[in-house]
Amino acid sequence: MGEETYAGVYISPDSVIEEGARIFPPAHVINSRICAGAQILPFSYVENSRVGENSRVISSTVTNSVICSDCTVGPYAYLRQNAYVGEGCRIGDFVEIKNSTLGKGCRAAHLSYIGDATLGERVNVGCGAVFCNYDGFKKHSTVVGDGVFIGANSNLIAPLTIGGGAFIAAGTTVSSDLKEGDFCIGRQRERILPEEGAKRYENSGAKP
């Protein structure tokens, strides 16, 4: 097809839009394949990528990546540099995926970074989870098995291997490999000082 612009939708001549796909303005599709039944919703940018059958991209940027069928991406997600999102995945708002593969049925609902990682099937990536792939000199990889639960505000420091079915509690920093079915919790226990908060406000002159 030739270059086309329809009321805010730009489609480059090297793109393929399959029958039944829908693109809503404003949106850009450049050198990409949008498969049958897929939807590219407003304020999305797709370049050098493939969006699979019946998947939805909502107000997100997708470059040099693959989204398989029956996925939801966005709003405000960023997939780049060889991100591969398997069938039936849910990628939510403010999630960035770079040079990583997510297996079937993975979920990263919001506010996470997944970089240089390979995730098995049905992995849950909690809010605020970060795959720490860079040590200041080199990039390192993380491998996560099937059915792993990664709690909110967890840090996975690569290189790292997480066995299938492992559970990482919220607020944990993981720097050692976990075996299949392991439970990992690495947070400092809270200390409660009765009425100390009120005293601190009183001494500072500030109001709580």
Positions marked active-site: 110
3-state secondary structure at position 200: helix
Contact 147, 165 (CB under 8 A): yes
DSSP states of 169-198 as a string?
A: -TT-EE-S-B-TT-EE---PPP---TTHHH
Find the Cα–Cα–Cα–Cα dihedral 110, 111, 115, 119, rounded to 10°.
Answer: -30
DSSP summary character for residue 100:
-
